[in-house]
Amino acid sequence: MRLRMPFARRRELPSHLWTQCPDCAEMLFNKQLVRNMNVCPKCEHHFKIGARERIELLADKGTFEERDADLTSGDPLSFVDSKPYRERIEAARIKSGATDAVITGTAAVGGVPVELAVMDFDFIGGSMGSVVGEKITRAAERALARRAPLVVVSASGGARMQEGTLALMQMAKILSAVSRLGDAGIPYISVLTDPTTGGVLASFASLGDVVLAEPKAYIGFSGARVTDQTIGERLPAGFQRAEFVLEHGFIDQVVPRAQLKERIAFFLAALRPKPVDLGWGL
């Protein structure tokens, strides 16, 4: 596994060896942190991890085969904000090592062959543009074609503004494919990690047959700041954290990272694709 700085978004020491836990302020030795799946051994704070690290944690050893790796963004709106969209993508590519905000492929999890899609928050905040939409849709279509379960791990700030309504429409595109999995009795497991928000939460991430989340992951449609400003109310404690969302009925389980793989494997073993496609009307 590539050694990678677990990015805590608040105070952290710019050290190559140590990282400060943003929750308990403990100084953690990076190698130890990585061995502990990037979870603080003291307070169990779950650091964000990249898509490659996530795949290492979830896929059975040596089973992951990436698909559509070379699909990249166009710039349909010729969008320029503080820098041009094309430059922004290039920078994200360098920062994250990925070609866009999702990595997809086939894998086995606990011995069950699946289509796996893992988002990467390091790529423009895990934002969903045409590439994310296309890759997850293709993964769902492959899942349908070979009657294998779909597992999607989300981490996203929402739709990618720089692709305008084209980004928005990816919500409908992905759900069109995911919906057919449901009709065909093929399991879809959604895993929500810190953070899962906006158009990603308001589409495929919310609609798993099973929805799991990592502890304290930030999960909400509107950002808490937006909500707070718009409404001018003080928010309840734990608002939009995984445990809060669980209480409100939208998550099946909050699962610590150390147990996530075995838990997914359990549900994959229990929810087998229906042997025959009952069809959706053709």
Partner 1 sequence: MRDPLAALREIATLGGRSPSEGNGHLVAGDELITDTAALGSARISAWEAVKLARELHRPHSIEIIERVFTRFQEMHGDRLFRDDPAIVGGIAELAGRPVVVVGQQKGASTEENIQRNFGMPHPEGYRKAIRLYRLAERFQLPLVTLIDTPGAFPGPEAEERGQAEAIAKSIEVMTGLRTPIVAVVLGEGGSGGALALGVADVVLSLQNAIYSVISPEGAAAILWRTAGEAERAARSLRLAGPDLLELRIVDGLIPEPPAGAHTDHDRTAANIKAAIAPQLERLARKATAELLAERYERFRRIGVVVEPAGEPVAPRRPWWKKVLGR
Q: How many CA atoms lie within 13 A of 142 on its CB side?
A: 20
Shortest distance in whole angstroms from residue 271 CB to partner 1: 5
Cα–Cα distance list, 1 to 50, 76, 107, 185 (Å) = 11, 36, 17, 35
Q: Which is nearer to partner 1, 37 or 201 (CB)?
A: 201
Shortest distance in whole angstroms from residue 260 CB to partner 1: 13
**Dihedral of alpha carbons 132, 133, 134, 136, sign:** positive
Q: Which does 21 bind (CB under 5 to 8 A by kind): Zn ion, partner 1, none?
A: Zn ion
Shortest distance in whole angstroms from residue 150 CB to partner 1: 14
Element spanning 183, H or E: helix 170-183
209 binds Zn ion (CB under 5 A): no
Q: Which residues contact 120 (CB under 8 A, 6 or more apart)?
A: 50, 51, 96, 98, 101, 102, 103, 126, 155
The three-class DSSP label of residue 44 is coil
107 binds Zn ion (CB under 5 A): no
Q: Which does 175 bind (CB under 5 to 8 A by kind): partner 1, Zn ion, none?
A: partner 1
Q: Which does 22 bind (CB under 5 to 8 A by kind): partner 1, Zn ion, none?
A: none
Element spanning 117, H or E: strand 112-119
Q: Which does 153 bind (CB under 5 to 8 A by kind): Zn ion, partner 1, none?
A: none
141 binds Zn ion (CB under 5 A): no
Shortest distance in whole angstroms from residue 31 CB to Zn ion: 16
Shortest distance in whole angstroms from residue 116 CB to partner 1: 20
Q: Which is nearer to Zn ion, 45 or 135 (CB)?
A: 45
Q: Which does 70 bind (CB under 5 to 8 A by kind): partner 1, Zn ion, none?
A: partner 1
- Total site size for Zn ion, rule CB under 5 A: 8
Q: Which is nearer to partner 1, 19 or 240 (CB)?
A: 240
Q: Which residues contact 236 (CB under 8 A, 6 or more apart)?
A: 244
Characterize 14-39 residue by residue with b for buried, 16 or more Cβ atoms within 10 angstroms of its Cβ, and e for exposed: eeeeebbbbbeeeebebeebbeebbb
| Total residues found in the chain within this entry | 282
The three-class DSSP label of residue 270 is helix
Query: Which 3-62 residues touch Zn ion, going by CB under 5 A?
Result: 21, 23-24, 26, 40, 42-43, 45
Q: Which does 23 bind (CB under 5 to 8 A by kind): partner 1, Zn ion, none?
A: Zn ion
